[in-house]
Amino acid sequence: MPLSEHEQKMLDEMERQLFADDPRLARAFRSSPRDRRSRRRIVLGLAGVVIGLGVLVLAVSLPAVWLGVLAFLLMLAGAVYAVTSPKNRPGPESGSGGDAPTQPTQGGNDFMRRLEERWEKRSGDDGRG
């Protein structure tokens, strides 16, 4: 069931306000070259796992324990590579000195509280008119 025009406008306004209140969230939803690198990282990691599995099958057919260990390490390295992210991320967060502690929980709670207040205010206004 499609949204009505009024509901679509409200949703667009909420989205704009959400992105204005939390720019980090807006950056998370944008597609970036980092997303492509992430997909590439997953594909390369899975390729390492598949190649390691093939080498493991070869190690079982040939009685070579050392080759089996090598295959296991290759599979493990591929899996770890696929699920981890690169350490050097460009952005304003990477240049911080680390002296000031960050408290994302407090900011997140404050943001959610304001969002809930706005939602209640808007739903109260819609019910009267």
Count how many residues are written for the chain. Answer: 129
Identify whether the C-beta of residue 82 lies closer than 8 Å to the C-beta of residue 49.
Answer: yes
Read off the pTM.
0.44
Distance CA(44)–CA(71), nearest Å, equals: 16
pLDDT at residue 112 tops 70: yes
Task: Give me the percent of the chain exceeding a pLDDT of 70.
Answer: 71
- Digit-coded pLDDT (tens) for 52-99: 999 999 999 988 899 999 999 999 999 999 888 776 655 544 444 444
Which residue bears the tokens 């390295």? 77
Residue 22 burial (C-beta neighbours within 10 Å; 0-12, 13-18, 19+) = middle
pLDDT at residue 13 tops 60: yes
Distance CA(54)–CA(58), nearest Å, equals: 6
Amino acid identity at 60: V
